Structure 1
Amino acid sequence: MTPSARLQAAIELLDDIIVAARDNGASADNIAKKFFKVRRYAGSKDRRAVREHVYAAIRRFGERPENGRAAMVGLAKELPELRDSFDGSTYGPAKLEDNEQFAGGEAIAGWLLNEFAQPVDGNEKAALFDRAPLDIRLNPKKADASVIATAWPEVETLPLSHAYRLPTGTSVENSEAYNMGQIEIQDMGSQAIIAACLVGAPKLVLDMCAGAGGKTLGLAAQLPDDVRIIAADTDRGRLSRIDPRLRRSSTRNVETMLLSPNKEIEALEPLSGQCDLVLVDAPCTGTGTWRRNPELRWRMTPKRLEQTTELQARLLDLASRMVAPGGRLVYAVCSLLDAEGGDQTEAFLKEHPGWRDIEVDLPIGRPYRKGLLLTPYQDGTDGFYFTCLEKL
C-alpha cells in the first residue's frame, strides 16, 4: 500500500470506530481486527501504519470527530508530513480543500476536565495516554515465583504479593505457564482490589459484576478451596468466558450466576444477608483505562455519565442487601471521576447508617474520600478508585 492508501484506510477505519463510539458498539480493537480480516491485501507493515494513524487520532482528540476524514485532517494540521498523502490518487484521500472541516480541541473534552478526582492534575492526566505495562498475577495454588523467573528472567517483581511486570510485547498467552493456569494477565491495580477483598476470612463470596472473571479468579487463587465463590453478571457473553479460565486454573469452588438486567434481585434473593464479602466492580466510564482504550473518550457524554452513576448507586444498594452482619462490601471502578468514586461512597454511607468505611493498608495507592485512588502517574497502574465498607 502507498502512504496515501494507508491514510485512506485509516480514515475508513476511523469512520467505523466513530460510529461504534456514538452507538455504543464494538471496541476499536475488535473493529480493527474485522477491518483487516476483509482486507487481506494489507501486509503487516501496512496494518501497523494504518493502526498508528488511527490511534494517533484517537489519542489526540478528546471530543468525538464528525468522521474519519475530519480526524485525519485535524491531525495533518499538526503533522505536516501527513499533508502530502491527501493527494487525490486512486486509493488515497481526496486533496485538502480550503476551509475544510477538521477535528480540534484538547485531548480531554472540556466538560470532563473538572470531573476528575482532586489529585489528578495535569501530569496525572497526561499519563492517562502513556503506553500501558504488561502485568501478570501468579496463581500460588499452582506455581511459585521460580516458574516466572525461569520463563522470563527479565521479570520485575511488583510491590503486591503474586504481582509481576513483563516487558511490553512479551508473548504470554502462548507460554506454558499461562496454558497451565499458573499465571493470568492482570493489571496491578486490579490485583490491588483483590488484595483489598482478602481482608478477613470469608466463607461465601459474591462477585456481583464479574464480567469475564478476572477478579473472581484472583480471589479463588488466594482463598481456601472450601470458600464458595459466586460470579454473577447480566452479560451472558462475558460471563461465559470465565468457564475456560476456570478449567485452565483447575478452580472448582466458583459457580456462575446469570442475572437479568434491572431484575437482579430475583436471582440474588437467596443470598440476601448471607455473604461475608461482596465485590462490586461496577460498570463505569473507564477513564482509568484510557491507556488501553483511548476511544472510550468518544463514548462519553454528560448524559451517559449520569446514567452510569445512577446504575452504580443502584448496584451498591443491591449489593449491600446481600452482605451478612459483620461482612464487607468492596466497591471499585476503573474510573478517576469523583462522580463514580468518592461521591458514590459518601452518598452510600449517608443513606446507609449501618455501615462504616474500613481502612485498607496496601503498598500502593493513596487514601482519598474514604477509599484508595490508584493512577498511572503515581502507581504505574490503570486508574482505579475503590473502597472497603463493613456492615455493622
Structure 2
Amino acid sequence: MSQIVCVAGVGMVPFTKPGANEPYPDMAAKAVRAALQDAGIGYDAIQQAYAGYVYGDSTAGQRALYEVGMTGIPVINVNNNCSTGSTALFLARQAVQSGAADCVLALGFEQMSPGALGTHFPDRPSPFDKFEAMADELVGNGDIPLALRYFGGAGLAHMKEFGTPLNTFAKIRAKASRHAANNPLALFRTVVTEEDVMNAPVVWPGVMTRLMACPPTCGAAAAIICSEAFAKKHGLKSDVVILAQAMTTDKPVAFDARDMREVVGFSMTQAAAGQVYEAAGIGPQDIDVVELHDCFAHNELLTYEALNLCPRGGAQQFVDDGDNTYGGKVVTNPSGGLLSKGHPLGATGLAQCTELVQQLRGQAGKRQVEGARLALQHNLGLGGACVVTLYGKN
C-alpha cells in the first residue's frame, strides 16, 4: 500500500558562523521542537527518527534527540555528504509511504569548523580519490581546496563550451543576497551587487571570487513526515504533500565523460529530476519555486540546465533575463540558498524543505512566491548522491 505523504511540521534555527553557534545537541533540539510545535504534536507521536550529520561521532543523532525525549524509538544516523539532510528526508518519506510507520522525524544538523572542507581520516583511501584523479587530469590546481576545485572546474567547463562570462556567476550571487535579505534565518543578509562579487578576493583567477562560494556554517533543521490518514486522525496539517521524490548516485559517466560537470553530478541531477517529473506527470515549466544546491554560484548555473529549467547552454540567458528570480519563470532559492543562507551540511536538505513548505503554505513573508503550488528541491552530495523532491499543495 502506498500512503499519501504529508509534511506536517517544519522547523529550523538561524544559521551561524562556526564559533558563534550553540553545541549541536542544542541546535538540533531547538529545530526538532520547532517542527513539533509547527505540527502540533509531541515527541511521543514520533515512531522513527532519521538524524543526519557529516562531521560528528557515531550516534550523535541519539545525543541530539535525547535532549527532546527518550522514547526508545529507532534512531538511524545518516551521512551522505552535502545531501545528508535530504537523504534523511528520503528515508522518512519511504517509511511513511510504504506504511512501515505513520509519523517520522527527519533531522539534520551540523557543527562545522572554519575553513575549507577536508578529509578527517588520512590513514585510509579517500572516498574522493577517483574524483581527485579526474580533477588532477582535467583542471590541475591541486593547491586549491577540493570542493572549490571541483565546482570551479565544472563552471570553467561551461565557460569554455558556451562562452559564459564570469559576471554571470556574480549575478547569481547577487540575486542570492537580495533574496536572503528577507530571510531572518539566513547567515548573510547584506545585499551585494554584481560588482561587489566581481571585486571580492580572487580564489581562482578567471574562474571564481570568494563571494561565489558558500561559507562553512552551523545550524539545524527538521521536518515531521506523516501519512495523510495519520494527519487527519490527529488533526494535523495535511496541506503540503510530497508528490514525488528520487535519489540517484553516480554512473560511469561521472568519470568516463572526462568533464568536470559530470564529476560534480550533472547527470545525477538530470536523472533524479527526470524521475520526479515522470512520476508526477509534470514538466519543469510547471514548477513555481525551487530550492537548489548552490554550494557555488557555478553549481547553481549548472543545475538550471540539469533540472531542465532552461536548455543546455541557455543558463547565461536565463540569468540575464531574470528568469531565476521574482517576476521571472521560476523563483530560485528564495531563502538565499547556500550562498547566503549558509550550508551546514547535514541541515541543508531540511532547511530547503522548511523553506518550500512555508512557500506552499503562504507563510514566507516578504520572500513569498505568489500563487506557489509546485515546489522543487535539489540537494547534491559529492561522492555522490542527489535527491530531488517535489512538493505540492494538497
TM-score (norm 1): 0.29
Larger Rg: 1
TM-score (norm 2): 0.29
Q: Which has the higher contact order (CA 8 A, sep 6+)?
A: 2
